[in-house]
Structures are given as C-alpha cells and as structure tokens.
Structure 1
C-alpha cells in the first residue's frame, strides 16, 4: 500500500475539506481535521497541516494537491492521457482563456455556484489592475465589489443550483458528477455567447482527476472537450479562473444573505457546529420541508440537527 504525506496551507486545507465532503467518513482520528475515503484511497488531514494519503492511488490523489508523481520510464508508442493536466502550455497566463470554478459544494447551507469567465489578452491588464486574484485572499466585501466590476468587463456564465434543486438531483448526481455537469454546462453556454470567437484554452480549477471528469462528462448530452486543461489552484495560472471564482463566491454570499433574511436567522457557510445549530432552529420552525429549501440534506449536519431538536 502506497503512503504519501504532504503539508498544505490553511486555505488549501479548507478547499480539500470542501472537495472531499462527499467522501467523508465517520472515523475519529486524534488531532485530525477530517478523514475521507475516495477510490480506495484513505485521506487523513491533521490540524498540523499535514495530509496523509494511503492506498493504491495515493500518489495520484496527492498529486492533485501539489505532490510530485514519480517519473515514468519513457517507452515507444505510449500516450500520456494526463499530459494536459500535468503541464500547461508555455506563456499560459498571457493567453485568451475561459476559466471555471465553483463555490458552495462543501457548505451545508446555500447553493452550489459555478462560473465560467472569459479573460482575453486585451483584458488581462485591466483585471490585474482591478485587483483580481485568488478569492481566498480577499474579504467578502472585496469579493462583492470586484464581482460587479468583473461582470462589467468580461463575458461570463453563472449557474446557481439552490438547495431545493440540489436535493432533488443529488440522489442521481453525486457531488463530483454534479460539479462536472455544471462546469460543462457553464463553459458550453459561455462558448455559445462568445461565438464566433474561440478561446485559446479552457482551464478548470481541478476538483477530480481528469479521467474521472471525462467519465462523468461523457454522460452529458452536450459536452465540451476541446482545449481543456485541469490544474489545482487554477487561479494562480490564469486570471480567468480567479475572476470566475470571485463571481461564484459573490453569488454564493448573496444567496446566504437572502436565506438569512427569509428565515430571520444568520445562515452560516461551511458545515461546522454552527450550521447544526441553525439547522435545528429551522427544523423547529418548519420541519425538514423548510430545511430542504435552504440546506443540502444529505450532509451529516441534518442528522446532527435532528438530535439537537430532540
């Protein structure tokens, strides 16, 4: 069994927890942030920032978060299907690119928002001047202000799946398949808007191995598969992903605010104990039917909230 250990920053740890939300296991490990199991690989994230991957696919899973894959021996006639995700074209940050990112998948309350944004060469300097960068390095106020300016500057396509719709399709679409479908749809709709202009590349902020993405996208009626690249921390490689992330985040925050007004409660992001407490209040107010309009019911928070009500 392969074992790989990496060290990550708090922001990456947060994104990892969101990414593996659908794979979390109820296993108490001392000093751990979370434990998960995906495709036979056990993932244990510790409060120290270290993350351990164990299993046959440990190296490949760890590579999604910055670990280096062992170099393969070259042999004639081989074709590396992951080449595009392993290495971006030279001067990629200066190309005209469609970037896409999502927000809300790891939050119990609120929607899943996915945005695809097109940043062409002519607008890169303007986006940089606005202060567009990794949304995790921005305050909520800055994100909201930037989102409005970005939407006036470049073409984008935003999709919002509210919790009620999410709960309807979740039994058929697991968390990863749902994100694949949404990214594919957002990119496709944006490409339709841009036609006849075509981007030089498409960059998706990677949330699953490329092979897994291709497996799920093949199930969609209409699929975009040309010039697509995948990489984690995509916002560091092109401003299009950073812009998409900011628009997605702003929309997610707006939806949480709207839910707070409707419920008369402060609706939190994330999936911590605060979410359990608010969910319990919503259950007392209107039962599971009301909760299902604002929260993703398959999360463990639902059962925790029910226990608080009892």
Structure 2
C-alpha cells in the first residue's frame, strides 16, 4: 500500500516538473526571463521577471493532483500579462469564420533569447493554401515540439517557399540596430514591415495580421512608408490565425537552426532563453573563445551581459 502511494506521488511529482517546464518554455518564448525550476517539499517553482517586475510560479503536486499558482500582486499589469499568457487557449475552429480569406500574417522569434538572432517571418495565406496544409499540425509554435517544428517548416518551404519571407537579424547586426534605435520594438517594426512588404509586392493581399507587440500607430507609421493599400489587424495571440501560426513556426525553425549550427561549431550546447544557465554558458564561451567571439553570439543590451 505504501509502495503504491509512493509510486503515485512520484508520478505526480514528475508531471509537476513536466508542467512547470512546459510553462517556463512558453513564457520564455514570449520574451520573459524565467529561471530553472526549484523543487520544494510539495511543489516546483520558478521566478518570472522582466525589467523590475517579478512574480513566482508554482506547480503543486499532492493527493488532489496538480495545482498551478501564480504569486504576486494580482492587480499589477505584469501579473495580468503573465496570467493571460498562461491561461490563453488556442481554438482555431472558433476563429475560422473571422479569419480573412487571404492575408499576410507575420510573427517573430528570438526576442527573449540572450543568444542568437531575432527572426521575423511572414506568410501569404489563403483558404486554398490552408486546405493543402491540412495534414500538418498548424498552431502556435509555442505549443509544438522542436522536432515537429523542423518537420513542419520543411514542408512549408517545400510546398510554398514563394509565400514565405524571412528577416533574420544576427547578433552583430542586431546590436548595431539596437545601438541606432535604442529600442527593441523599433527593430521589430522595421523587420515586420520589411517582410510584409516583400510578400505584398508578390501577392497584393491588402489584409495584414500581426501579433500585437506595440501600439498600432507605430506600426502603421512604418507600413505607410512601404504600402499604398492595406488593412491592418493587430491583435494579441494572433497565432490563432493559421497564417500567423505558420509564420511563427518558420521563425522558430530558423532560430533552432542557428542554435544547432553554432553549438556544433563551438562544440558547446548553447541554450535558449536568458536564465542563469545561459549566463554560465556565455561565461564559458568568453573564457574559452574570447570577447570577440562572444559578442557575435549575444544581444548586448540584455542584463545577462552585465552579469557575465
């Protein structure tokens, strides 16, 4: 009897660890800083931060199963942002009627990673394309394993390469742009509008769908310089639209390729995110290869750079 209880408890503990790691990865892909899970007597927990904002996420394991708790000031904007990310559920079928017939969707990857490029991808989507891709698991890249992302992205490129536009800003160029703009959103606006412009010149789709990352006025100001005729839909969690989900998968796939390539070149497993583990690897690269090599792998404005 005791053995059965211990097995059950161990199983719940393992599920709690898997759950908190899943949530950690989700938050990191949204650009938040999340440390590695710490095990307590009855739960696993992580600290979530962005700037001066801090929250704690806990996943309890016990007789009643798993319980997720977000600790912090429930009235703060930061708490509301994190709560929205953790509780949002994607349902493409509910949005099928409101999804435009033909549009350009864009999304990005890498803005929350100390190492690696910032990648913005855009995809020219229509209903016919959607039918031809129905055999693929198209959803937000944060909900798909890395192996599946690679496979799906390969199929996108094989079937519809002409409908894809990618702006890949490697660390050296990224740091130059950040020095110029002094603002991540300005870089994102420039990259999104450039990718969208390339596809609109080919397909002349007026509808544009972008996952919201800043005010609409700022994006329109840049799009007005490039596009004569467009209808912008700027919305949170835009990956519920298949065209944006496809863009998110393509962008994420490019990120994974960069990390795999650089890890092989340096013979060091370069991690994503911005955790303490990332700092340790950056310090190791600095000591082994020098500052010049490290500076071409990282985003210099991250607080991680000051830490190392």
The alignment's TM-score, normalised by the length of structure 2, stands at: 0.72
Q: Which residue of 1 aligns with 2:288?
A: 285
Q: Tell me which of 175, 184, 190 is aligned to 1:175.
A: 184
CA separation in 2, counterparts of 1:64 and 1:183? 27
Task: Tell me how many residue pairs correspond in the alignment.
Answer: 256
Asked whether 1:127 is paired with 2:141, we answer: no
Q: Tell me which of 198, 209, 220 is aligned to 2:205.
A: 198
CA separation in 2, counterparts of 1:99 and 1:280? 38
Task: Map Cα deviations across residues 18-44 of structure 1 (whole Å, 9 max, x no partner).
Answer: 65669xxxxxxxx8733446xxxx854
Asked whether 1:99 is paired with 2:105, we answer: yes
CA separation in 1, counterparts of 2:298 and 2:284? 13
Greater Rg, structure 1 or structure 2?
2
Quick one: structure 1 residues 246 and 299, their matched pair in 2 at CA, closer, same or farther if it must change by over 3 Å?
same
Task: Map Cα deviations across residues 129-188 of structure 1 (whole Å, 9 max, x no partner).
Answer: 212112112111100000011123331101100011111111222111111111011101
Quick one: structure 1 residues 287 and 258, their matched pair in 2 at CA, closer, same or farther if it must change by over 3 Å?
same
> Contact conserved, 2:31 with 2:113, CA < 8 A, in 1?
no
Q: Which residue of 1 aligns with 2:121?
A: 115
Which structure 2 segments of 5+ residues have no match? 1-19, 34-44, 58-68, 86-94
The alignment's TM-score, normalised by the length of structure 1, stands at: 0.71
CA separation in 1, counterparts of 2:273 and 2:285? 16
CA separation in 2, counterparts of 1:289 and 1:14? 29
Q: Tell me which of 161, 177, 197 is aligned to 1:188.
A: 197
CA separation in 2, counterparts of 1:135 and 1:221? 30
Please identify, of 99-108 and 278-287, the stretch whose mean Cα deviation from structure 2 is larger.
278-287
Q: Tell me which of 293, 297, 300 is aligned to 1:294.
A: 297
> Contact conserved, 1:267 with 1:278, CA < 8 A, in 2?
yes
Q: Which residue of 2 aligns with 1:152?
A: 158
Alpha-carbon deviation of 1:110? 0.8
CA separation in 2, counterparts of 1:287 and 1:251? 26
Task: Map Cα deviations across residues 168-222 of structure 1 (whole Å, 9 max, x no partner).
Answer: 111222111111111011101111222xx424x211011123234346x37x853
CA separation in 2, counterparts of 1:63 and 1:35? 10
SS across alignment from 1:46:
strand
Which structure 1 segments of 5+ residues have no match? 1-8, 23-30, 67-88, 306-310
